[in-house]
Amino acid sequence: MRIQKLLNKMEEEKLDAFLVTNMKNIRYLSGFTGDTGKLLITHNHKYLIVDGRFLEQAAKETNVEVIDYDKSFSKTIKRLCDENNAKKCAFESNDVTFGEYDALKKVMDSIELVPDNTTIENIRLVKDEGEIKLIKHALKIALETFEEIKTKIVPGVTEREISAEIEYMMKLKGAEGVAFETIVASGKRSSLPHGTATDKKIEYGDAVVIDMGALYNGYNSDITRTIFVGDMSKEQERIYEIVEKAQKKGIEAIKVGEKSSVPHNLVVEEFAKDNLDEYFVHSLGHGVGIDVHERPFLSPRGADTFQSGMIVTVEPGIYLPDKFGVRIEDMIMIE
């Protein structure tokens, strides 16, 4: 079904072949989980080109024809294009290096190479039932882990210890790894939006921002929680309530047919009511799937239109330099 969508697009664009080099996209289209390979799609054949290390694995994981790269990816791709009489071949221009392009260009002298960086990403925007199930499970792992870890966030424990415990717990619950490096930032460091864990000890009165996600069967989750050790100050409570209210406004603005820039702009307006908009220093959210950060982007420049089946984060935050920060992030499925 996914490859058929690509074939339909190739028909529209009058493309004879499509060379897929991004390993996430190769996994999405073929199921191959290795770290090296090329996927060549023509109207009559589907080839996964790998070296000897992955021949057996590829044959077991995919339903496409597995081809040995024969010591040269570019020459093998050229041979397969010739066998399919392909005269116009698209390639992923955001992924192919100049060196790879140069090698292709030298051998594909009779074949037009067409740069493309949106076709497969457009197909990936809307998640199918299988993807939604995997993302939900990745989210379940993260949420359950947070509920267990929050009881261990006490004065004296270090940020790095909490981060390590989170990653250990997620793997015990079935995650194949982390979606990204876990963020644990406490006290004044919580004003750093990407404050990865250090040896700083958590203290009484600290705000602690935890940004975490699980990778499960190729799909990611992404959540952020801000907790307070001991009693919240009046300022901490005020900022938390403002962020929480802004997140609700952002979620309410997500509707099928709406531009992905709209929720971000509404949240900025909400923060501006309290003269805090300058302390919101990142985009409101992003899509989540095979990549933890993918389209649609909920940003001032977000150009996608929300569709049913998209999964996005909504993560407003206020970061007061040298004081503390608050971020709340949840994953939303659009229906």
Radius of gyration for the chain, computed over Cα atoms and rounded to the nearest angstrom: 23
Task: Please write the tens of the pLDDT for every residue from 295-316.
Answer: 999 999 999 999 999 999 999 9
Q: What average pLDDT does the segment 242-258 reach?
A: 98
Measured at the alpha carbon of residue 19, what is the angle toward residues 13 and 23, in degrees to the nearest 5? 125
Nearest to 324 by CA among 223, 236, 202: 236
Question: Topology of domain 129-333, per CATH?
Answer: Creatine Amidinohydrolase (3.90.230)
pLDDT of residue 29: 98
Residues of the chain with pLDDT > 90, as a percent, come to 99
Residue 208: pLDDT band (50, 70, 90) is very high
* Whether CATH 3.40.350.10 fits 2-124: yes
Boundaries of every domain in the chain: 2-124, 129-333
User: Phi then psi for 311, rounded to 5 degrees?
Assistant: -125, 125
Question: Residue 215: is its pLDDT beyond 90?
Answer: yes
Domains 2-124 and 129-333 are alike in CATH topology: no
Estimate the share of the chain in helix, then strand, then coil, as percent rounded to the nearest 5: 40, 25, 35
Summarize pLDDT for 114-145 with one digit per residue, the tens: 999 999 999 999 999 999 999 999 999 999 99
Look up residue 19 and give its two tokens: 């060379």
β-strand 223-228 against 219-220: which pairing, if any? unpaired
Q: What is the pLDDT of residue 42?
A: 98
**Confidence class for position 252, pLDDT limits 50, 70, 90:** very high
Residue 158 has pLDDT above 90, yes or no: yes
Q: How far apart are CA 27 and CA 46, in angstroms?
A: 14
pLDDT digits (tens, 9 = 90+) for 69-110: 999 999 999 999 999 999 999 999 999 999 999 999 999 989
| pLDDT band at 1; cut points 50, 70, 90 | confident
Alpha-helical (H) ranges within 150-289 are 159-172, 234-252, 262-272
As a whole number of Å, the end-to-end CA separation of the chain is 21
What is the per-residue pLDDT for 211? Answer: 98
Secondary structure (3-state) at 224:
strand
54-77 confidence digits (pLDDT tens): 999 999 999 999 999 999 999 999
Q: Is the peptide bond before 296 cis (omega within 30 degrees of 0)?
A: yes
What pLDDT score was predicted for residue 72? 95
Q: Find how far residue 248's CA is from the centre of its chain.
A: 22
Contact yes or no for 313/330 (Cβ under 8 A): yes
Mean pLDDT of the chain: 97
pTM of the model: 0.94
- Mean local confidence (pLDDT), 283-292: 98
DSSP three-state, residue 33? coil
